[in-house]
Amino acid sequence: MHPTHVPIRVATGAYILNSGLTKLKADEEAQEQMHGWASGVYPVFKDMKAGDFTKLLGYGEIGLGAMLLLPTVPSAVAGSALAAFGAGLMGMYLKTPSMTLEDGIRPSPEGVATAKDAWLVGAGLTLAMQSFLSGTKHAARSVADGVTGAASSVAHGVGGAVTGAVGSASSSASGGVKGLLSSAQHAREDLADALSDLADAMVRR
């Protein structure tokens, strides 16, 4: 967990954990009310008993709260779960006519408390996006370092090869020049011997 994520994770985690514990202690009237509200928006819960639904919701909130409070859970995971949970609550808010005004967005007096759940979506997306971008930057930095290292190795290799080639060429050229000078010296000596023999032959005649 990044230190900058601690405040938002502790605040949201403690709030949701307490909410889940409270739901486990809800009476029958509160259970029926929560079940009726949720099943009116999400039909998948209609066949579930009110008590079972309330327990399911309560345990879900306890799990989410614990996930946010535990530092071993990555912020990307906890943030995504928090955003999904908040989106579910906002879906119920937006699809319940009595919760909003005529425009279907602004909260009515009855929906003010539920409209505040929008901050759960924002908090979750903030955690998830910051973690994702941080991971992306780290990966990009690693790739850049790898490319730089590879380029450096190639550059050193090419430089060594060029130096070796130049050294070899220089050595070969130096040997060739020395050979030419030696051959020229021998040719000059042979020419001198030939001229001397010619001069002796002419004197004898």
| DSSP secondary structure letters along 45-95 | GTTS-HHHHHHHHHHHHHHHHHHHH-TTS-HHHHHHHHHHHHHHHHHHHHT
> Over 60: is that where the pLDDT of 20 sits?
yes
Q: Work out whether the CA dihedral 115, 116, 120, 122 comes out positive or negative.
A: positive
Looking at residue 131, its pLDDT comes to 82
Q: At what angle do helices 28-41 and 75-94 cross, to 10 degrees?
A: 90
C-beta of residue 43 within 8 angstroms of C-beta of residue 100: no
Provide the mean pLDDT of the chain. Answer: 77
Looking at residue 7, its pLDDT comes to 92
Looking at residue 188, its pLDDT comes to 56
C-beta of residue 69 within 8 angstroms of C-beta of residue 14: yes
Backbone angle region of 47, left / alpha / beta, with phi > 0 → left and psi within -120 to 50 → alpha: alpha
Structure tokens at 42: 């999400």
> Over 80: is that where the pLDDT of 140 sits?
no
For residue 193, the cross-strand partners are none
Q: Which amino acid makes up residue 54? A: T
- Whole-model pTM over 0.75: no
Percent of the chain with pLDDT over 90: 38
> Over 70: is that where the pLDDT of 84 sits?
yes
Looking at residue 78, its pLDDT comes to 93
Looking at residue 200, its pLDDT comes to 59
Dist. CA 43–CA 65, nearest whole Å: 26
Q: Among the listed ranges 10-24, 104-118, 174-188, which one has the minimum average pLDDT value?
A: 174-188
* pLDDT tier for residue 114 given thresholds of 50, 70 and 90: confident
C-beta of residue 93 within 8 angstroms of C-beta of residue 100: yes
Mean local confidence (pLDDT), 4-31:
93
Looking at residue 157, its pLDDT comes to 58
Cα angle vertex 138, ends 132, 142, to 5°? 145
Domain ranges of the chain: 3-147
